[in-house]
Amino acid sequence: METTHELDRLGQDARSRIAEATTIDALEAVRIAFLGKQGSISALLKSLGRMSAEERQAQAPAIQALRQQVSDEIARRREALESAALEQRLAAERLDLTLPAPQAPGGSVHPVAQVMDELAEIFADLGFSVATGPEIEDDWTNFTALNMPESHPARAMHDTFYFPDASPTGGRMLLRTHTSPVQVRTMLATAKDHPGGAPLRIIAPGRVYRSDSDATHTPMFHQVEGLVIDRDIHLGHLKWTLETFLKAFFEREDIVLRLRPSYFPFTEPSVEVDVGFALDNGRRVLGGSGDAPGHGWMELLGSGMVNRRVIAMSGLDPDVWQGFAFGVGVDRLAMLKYGMDDLRAFFDGDVRSLRHYRFSAFDQPTLSAGVGARA
């Protein structure tokens, strides 16, 4: 039989152990010790069953009361411990909404696309618009209209990919071997839409194809074509335009050009344009005259005054309109500007090289600010 004294002691013991429990786990251990299946208060409750009816009536209320008190006490303590733990977490964990968000993985602009954007920007400042043409071309537009008739030896030099189907003009369809057919298409379209047809100032960047593959040639590569047609255009305009473009593109005032007589069927006269470079630790750095000691000339592009036969075949009167044209490899421009030395890295799809250059689509710090933005 339990004396009141013993119950008081048990109650006190429980209360002090509850108070001492500083974690939820410790509190749970106390609960098990008193109220669990084998707990001391549970044992007292069980002992009621062995008592006589009178005894039970005398003892039960006090034991039940003790069980209730201890269980209430534990619940209060649990609440206190839980809210303390919450306070602590809130104090430790901070959510700073002003912190910058972590950078999401993003793509980047391919060097060739970057250079094409730069070209469009520079030439836009000079009043040029961007023209396009199909990559699957007919042989009349790719060759014949550019003054390369069927038997012309230049056709053989182009290593052309032909399609088996006949073209609408009776010849064959092919993958364009250069961007020059866009000259023809643009003149034809203007001649049709605007009687008189010109003036015209366009660049035409795009993919071109030749059956050729080694360290410096890929079967697909990029060119940009330039065409200016007006009433009184001469070689001086061509030279100034190329100089202004190359200075803006390479972001150097000291770019020096050399124009060499050359031959292209679609220009007359034709000039090959070289750019002067200096050697820096064996690396070619553009700038300065190629004739200076330790310098050299690098062939950069083909150009000339548009052949009057091309103007006539493109629907304009060559006695009224003349102009200049040029064509340059975009991949080569990219390699020269950004110091890349293997053309194939552009096209083998290894994203590591893109990550290395990382031209951002949204913020283009390297995109030329255009003509006249230089110091």
Nearer to ligand DAH, 39 or 133 (CB): 133
Pairing verdict, β 267-280 and 283-286: antiparallel
- Chain-centroid distance of CA 374 in Å reads 26
Please select the residue that binds ligand DAH; options are 155, 178, 247, 332, rule is CB under 6 A. Answer: 178
The residue sitting closest to ligand DAH, measured at its beta carbon, is 327
Q: Which of 59, 147, 160, 180 binds ligand DAH (CB under 6 A)?
A: 180
Q: How far is the CB of 368 from ligand DAH (least distance, A)?
A: 22
Nearer to ligand DAH, 162 or 263 (CB): 263
Output the smallest distance, CB 329 to ligand DAH, in A. Answer: 8
CB of 338 to ligand DAH, least distance (A): 22
**CA–CA separation, 211 and 220 (whole Å):** 8
By CB under 6 A, name the one of 302, 333, 337, 346 that touches ligand DAH: 302
Binding ligand DAH (rule: CB under 6 A), the pick from 128, 221, 249, 264 is: 264
Number of residues that bind ligand DAH (CB under 6 A): 11
Shortest distance, CB of residue 325 to ligand DAH, whole angstroms? Answer: 4
Do 209 and 220 contact (CB within 8 A), yes or no? yes
Omega before residue 153 within 30° of 0, cis: no
Find the binder of ligand DAH among 73, 118, 121, 225 (CB under 6 A).
Answer: 225
Stretch that binds ligand DAH, among 37-45, 112-120, 322-330, 332-340 (CB under 6 A): 322-330
Q: Of 10, 316, 325, 330, which lies in the binding site for ligand DAH, with binding defined by CB under 6 A?
A: 325
The answer to the question of residue 205 lying near ligand DAH (CB under 6 A) is no
Decide: is 218 part of the binding site for ligand DAH (CB under 6 A): no
C-alpha dihedral, 35 to 37 to 38 to 40, nearest 10°: 30
Does 147 bind ligand DAH (CB under 6 A)? Our answer is no
Measured from the CB atom, the residue of 210 and 337 that comes closer to ligand DAH is 210
Q: CB under 6 A: which stretch of 120-128, 252-260, 324-332, 365-373 binds ligand DAH?
A: 324-332
140 C-beta neighbours (distance < 10 Å), count: 19
Exactly one of 144, 167, 267, 322 binds ligand DAH (CB under 6 A); that residue is 267
d(CA 14, CA 337): 82
Q: What's the CA angle centered on 225, arms 298 and 240, to 5 degrees?
A: 60
Nearer to ligand DAH, 30 or 333 (CB): 333
Which residue, 63 or 325, is less far from ligand DAH as judged by CB? 325
Q: Which residues are at the interface with ligand DAH (CB under 6 A)?
A: 178, 180, 225, 264, 267, 302-304, 325-327
